[in-house]
Every structure is written in structure tokens, then in C-alpha cells.
Structure 1
Amino acid sequence: MTDYRAPALSRGLSVLEYMSQAGVPMTMSELVAALHLSFNQLFRIMQCLEEEGYLKQDASRYYRLTGKLMFSSQPRFVEQLARSDSCQQLMKDFTWRTNQPCHLAALQDDQVRVIAHRHPDFTPSISAREGSLLNTVKSSSSLVLLALASDQDSWRLIRHYGLDNRLRGVMVEQLSQIKAQGYAEIPHDRIVGLTSVSWPVIGPDNHAHAVITCPWFDQLPGEYEDAKQALCQVASQLSETLRALMFKHD
């Protein structure tokens, strides 16, 4: 059988694969060195990838991946994550360790929906159930997505929601704080003693694709700071699992 090869296509895929694994913007020189190709071999390929919307070059001449490759299939990967044994085990371990519930939420149909949850087996708790829709501008899960998701996802979430000037100012302050610290802590506006702490589940594009949340109720036994750090560890492990699902490399 004749061996048909398309070197340009192969190199283009190598660029996308390497940049997705690196997870950081890169210059042409860095890619030339990493992929062991010449500048001439890469120049036209990079130009085509940029023209087709797979790459974007900033003012400092760094290339970064856009969301084009994973945007259409992102919900499928997040749903796979929620159904995975590793996710279920991580959430189960968290509830056993902290005696607090937790839930995983993601963007679905321009709304934030709970796609997995776990509550302590032997302790009454306040928690969001699977399938529940979360408030776009009040829930900690939604605020984390607004602050740390891609521009496309943030716009999809907020575009149908009207904001008056007061609420806009409050949200700007909240989102700035979440971006700075990397997570959200939101006291419930009606239930005294309930604080939702949320950490992002980060994909290979360095944006939040889902959020893991613990609605901490201070009338249950346990230490809040310990639970917050335990949830951070769960988010980190979920991020690793999500990246592995989105980019499997044998």
C-alpha cells in the first residue's frame, strides 16, 4: 500500500499537541527548539493555525491555544469527569474526611447545573442535589466560573442576566477577589452559619471548566480551614483527571 504522508498536517498536529501539554503561551523560537523543526518549516503552519482560529498571537509575539479545539466537546468531557470512578471516590473521601457535603457544577445550556454531588452518609446536611440549577450571580460555583472560565463561557453564562449598577459593582469586586485568590468563599444570604467554598477544576487551557463546592455548615463537627484545603486538593486531582480526559496521549 502506498504510504501517503502530509508533513504539514503532521507538524500542525504536533504544534497543537505540544502546546496543549505545555499549557502556557510560547514563542515561535520556543516551538522551533521544542519540536526540533526549522523556522521555515513552522512559519506557514503557524500562520494557517492562526488564520483558522486555533492559535492567537499576542502583542509580545507569544502564541496561545484558543478554545476552538475543545469548545464544542467540552461538556462531554466534563460529564465524563462527573461520572468517572475517580471523581466519585474523591467526593466520597472528602465527605468522610470532613463530615461535610460537596457537589460538582458546570455550565450546561448557558446555566450552572450540579452534575454530581455527595453528602455524609450518617449526618444531616444542606447540599445541592444533582440536576439543581444554581443562581448565576449569587452562588459561589457560578462566581468562580464567571471569574476563571474562558471569555466564551463567562459570556454564555452572564449574557441573559440583567445587572443594575449596584449589583454590577458588587460582582466586579467579587470576581476580582476570586481571580486574585483562586477560589470563592460566599456566605449564604439567608441561612446563618452556611458558607459555600468553591475551587475551580482547571482544563488544559488554564480555564475553569467545572467547580467543586462544599456548602460548609458550621453547626456540623469539623474544622473549616481543614475542609477548605481538603477541597482544594480534590479540585487539583479533578483538574488532572479532566486534562487527561481532554488530551489522551499514549
Structure 2
Amino acid sequence: MADSNTVKYNAPALDKGLDILEYLSKERIPLTQAEIAQGINRTPSEIYRMLVCLEERGYIVRGANAGKYRLSLKMYSLSHSHTPFDELKRVAHYPMQMLSEVTRQSCHLSIMNNDQLLIISQMRSPSAVSLSIEEGTHFPLSMTSSGITFLSTLSKKERLNILSRDAYYKKWSKEEKDALNQEIELVKEQGHRYAKSKLTSGVTDISVPVGNNTELKAVLAVSVFTSTLEEELDVQTIIDSLKHTQEQINKLIGG
């Protein structure tokens, strides 16, 4: 519900309409006008016009018998005409460009796809020599810093369900599995992961989670040559830059 203490410009009618949509989405069952009003701390008369308007615009549907309201498929249709990951790539472009320029390293953005890590965007380093991870490439979640970072954003139940299908994880001993789960918990606590790559010798990965508390989750990472990191670059500077970029992207996607 809208918090009047944080709203700079009031739009009462819009607030009521959004409250109705959000409440119906949360409850997931058809509700009467009185039930909706009670749920959003309004009176039935306050929301009558909003219900009529939302029904006329096709956002909600009223049952013929009990007169209960439910969400239509209109919002689903609108949201799928432009996927959230397309929008994520768009808004992340400039922050990633700034991150690449500040760190002088390439950075990449990834999501989970079919229980694997999928690179959806990359920003190349302005330096003459740098690492490159091509968009569209898949990697195992359990073997990458970005994958482990992504797993840290999930509940334990979700995480174990996904790992039960991971080709590497299934072959590991109990000790190896426990070690991975401890790594995941550490990432959740610290908010980032910094470790040498398990897949590519001589490479170190630094990653942070990006996204909101719904289905939109991703990972932003910088991969550097380990020798360069040890001799020329400051790890904390990269971590700080990653987290600054993380904040910028989260703000742009409403996270």
C-alpha cells in the first residue's frame, strides 16, 4: 500500500487503483467489493469507481453470480509483450559501461535459464587486453562465481531443488556439497563473491546479485586475470564499484 510519508506527489485515485490490483494479485482468489475494501483499508464506497474503471479497462473481471472480482489476463499480456529481462538489459547498459570504464575491465550480466547460468549482456573493457565472455553462453551454476551468487538469492528449498539437477553437484561427495552450501551462505551474508574461477585457470571472478524480490534476479560480474589482480588492481575497489553499479541497476528496475 502507498505510504503517505514517502509520496512526494499525491495521486489518490491512482493509489487506490494500484492498491486494488496489488491486493488481488497477492490474494489470488476472487473477492467481493467489501473484501477488497477491507484488505486495503478503504471503505467500499471509496473504491467503487476504481473497480468500475478497472473492469471497463479490462484489468479485472467480475463473476456473474457472486459478483466477486479477480484479475484478468491483461496485465499478463502487457508484461509479456516486453520481457523483464529485455528491460533489464536496456537499463543496465549505461551502468555497466561506467563500471567497465572505472575498473578498466569487462563485465557481464547473467540470469538463470534451464538450471544453468546464461550470459545475457556483456560490456567490453576499454583496455587493449581483457577477458571476454560471449552473450548467449551457458555455464553450470555450481561451478561459477556468478552461479553461486545467483543461488545465494534463492531460498534453501529452491536452491537444493535446482542443485539436485546439476550435473556436477550430483556427482560430488557429501563434503563437497556441504562446502558449496557453506560458500552460498557466505555470499548471502557478504553480498558478493570473490574467488578464482573453477572453470578457467588464471582467472578470478567477482560478482554481486542484481534484481528485486520477485522473479527478476540476475548477477553482475567482473572477471579479471588473476596475475593482474594481484599486481595492479585493488580487489576492494572492484567490489565497491560492482556494488555501486548494483545499486544503480536496482533503482532503475524498481528493486
- Do they fold alike, i.e. is TM over 0.5? yes
TM value normalised by structure 1: 0.64
TM value normalised by structure 2: 0.63
Letter in 1 for 2:135: E
Aligned to 1:237: 248
C-alpha deviations, 1:4-34, integer Å up to 9, x for none?
xxxxx98642436899xxxxxxxxxxx979x
Letter in 1 for 2:183: Q
Give the drift of 1:199.
0.6
- Preserved contact between residue 84 and residue 216 of structure 2 (Cα < 8 Å): no
Percent identity of paired positions between Structure 1 and Structure 2: 18
Residues 64-79 of structure 1 correspond to what in structure 2 (within 5 A)?
Answer: 76-79=83-86
1:213 correspondence with 2:218:
no
What residue ranges of structure 2 are gaps of 5+ in the alignment?
1-16, 28-36, 47-74
Aligned to 2:175: 166
Alignment size in residue pairs:
192
Aligned match for 1:100, one of 102, 105, 117: 105
Letter in 2 for 1:178: V
Structure number with larger C-alpha Rg: 2
What residue ranges of structure 1 are gaps of 5+ in the alignment?
1-8, 20-30, 42-68, 245-250
Give the drift of 1:108.
1.6
Aligned match for 1:80, one of 69, 82, 87: 87
- Preserved contact between residue 147 and residue 176 of structure 1 (Cα < 8 Å): yes
Tell me how large the CA RMSD over aligned residues is.
3.7
Residues 1-250 of structure 1 correspond to what in structure 2 (within 5 A)?
Answer: 12-15=20-23, 35-37=40-42, 76-82=83-89, 84=90, 86-149=91-154, 154=159, 157-161=162-166, 162-164=170-172, 165-189=174-198, 191-192=201-202, 194-205=203-214, 209-218=217-226, 219=228, 221-243=232-254
Larger RCO (CA under 8 A, 6+ residues apart) = 1
Query: What is the rounded CA distance, in whole Å, between the counterparts of 1:112 and 1:235 in structure 2?
Result: 18
Letter in 2 for 1:226: T
> Structure 1 pair 112/16, CA: closer, same or farther in 2 (3 Å)?
farther
C-alpha deviations, 1:62-93, integer Å up to 9, x for none?
xxxxxxx99x96x92023211x1x31111111
- Preserved contact between residue 100 and residue 217 of structure 1 (Cα < 8 Å): no
